[in-house]
Amino acid sequence: MKPWTLLGAAACALPLALAAPAAAEERTESYMDRPNNLTVAVGGAYLPTYEGSDDYQWVPFPAVIGKVGGFGFATRGSTLTLDLIRDAPGASVSFDLGPAVNLRLDRSRHIVDPQVQALGRIDRAVEVGVHAGIAKNRLLDPYDSLALRVTWLHDVSGTHSSSIVSPSVDYSTPLSPKTYALLSASADHVGRGFAQTYFSITPAGAVKSGLPVYNATSGWKSVRLSLLLAQVLSGDLRRPRLSLFGAVSYSRLLGDFRRSPVVSIAGSPNQWLAAAGLAYSF
């Protein structure tokens, strides 16, 4: 998983945690039930310079989530999603469905390792697709939520010309009227073009970099686990204003992707992220 997707799975999940039902019995009081609302988050993250790298960097990031006329929108790292389903306030089961677009930045900049740098930069990829999800609210108590989601993206810029499928499961629950926790598990399945572009090494690339020739193919690329904690500093979880959040995420590259010399020789299959920041809800 690329670093910006890690942000989506962890640090940028804060507004989504606040969007979960904070008090089911009084759901109509939640600011998220308003047809028009906005939460803006800003922070910093310590993460790999590209997927598979063992070099890390600090980067700033923004995130937004909200509704216009009852239709939702959200950013997760460099991914923007729209939700075209308007669920009834207080629904025990809610749905997400709509378009998604992502800008993939992997190895387009910030390449520190000299061998990977010798392979050359990769153009940014523009990926478009669809996301869908279903959430069961009030699963174990009146306050929690369990959600199953999947996103399908396809590169339309010609950089890797293949698809990425990312299923996930999220469990969120308040720990107090002002504290929220979100645990997320997800995975990425990628096409052959993606594997060839980011993890294979051609004979010409081997001569330039000193890394061996390698041919990666499609398959499950990575699995990840993320934990986010949010503390409301003013208001409460039903009516948050200013909030503080922190997150940590771990990802493990699998199969051909773990064995790629870009990872096994010049990087690491273990990918970590730590992030923190502030969010404000209008």
Kindly report the CATH number assigned to the domain that includes residue 245: 2.40.160.40
* pLDDT at 9 (0 to 100): 41
Q: What is this structure's pTM?
A: 0.88
All residue ranges of the chain with pLDDT < 50 are 1-13, 15-16, 18-28
* pLDDT at 282 (0 to 100): 83
Please give the residue range of the domain that contains residue 86.
3-281
What is the Cα–Cα distance from 75 to 41, expressed in whole angstroms? 10
What is the Cα–Cα distance from 10 to 15, expressed in whole angstroms? 11
Mean pLDDT rounded to a whole number for the chain: 87
* pLDDT at 110 (0 to 100): 86
Total count of domains within the chain: 1
* pLDDT at 32 (0 to 100): 62
* pLDDT at 22 (0 to 100): 42
* pLDDT at 6 (0 to 100): 42
